[in-house]
Amino acid sequence: MKLASLTLALAIASVGTLDAAALDRRVRINNHSSYDIIEFYASNKGTRDWQEDILGRNILPAGNSVVINIDDGTGYCKYDFLAVFEDGDELVKYNNNVCELSDFSYWD
């Protein structure tokens, strides 16, 4: 009886915890500023580089949003964001937990 209770308790505990590799890392980036975002980078906390411009040839116009899958295959949840605006301003936001975050906004 004790073994069955222990097995059931472990099964319930494993269902209640989420594996970081299985978490959704899609984040809606909202540009509520007056300027277009011409480049956007998201680099996990384990790297020192900005990786690649996620927008590529696209831009994120002022007043618009885009859903980005911020999953680089490393299993990380914490990312730094860098937005480059059309006027040349750059804004870095550190330590964003994309496993919990579904929306992220830039404002003037």
Q: Is 49 inside a domain boundary?
A: yes
The predicted pLDDT at position 51 comes to: 86
- Measured from the Cβ of residue 62, the count of other Cβ atoms closer than 10 Å reads 16
- For the chain, strand residue ranges (E) read 26-32, 37-44, 65-69, 78-85, 90-97, 103-107
CATH of the domain at 40: 2.60.40.2890
- Distance of alpha carbon 60 from alpha carbon 63, whole angstroms: 8
Classify residue 42: in a domain, yes or no: yes
pLDDT of residue 5 exceeding 90:
no
Exposure pattern of 35-44 as b/e (b: 16+ CB <10 Å)? Answer: bbbbbbbbbb
The residue with greater pLDDT, 52 or 18, is 52
Residue 47 lies in a domain: yes
Number of domains in the chain: 1
51 in any annotated domain: yes
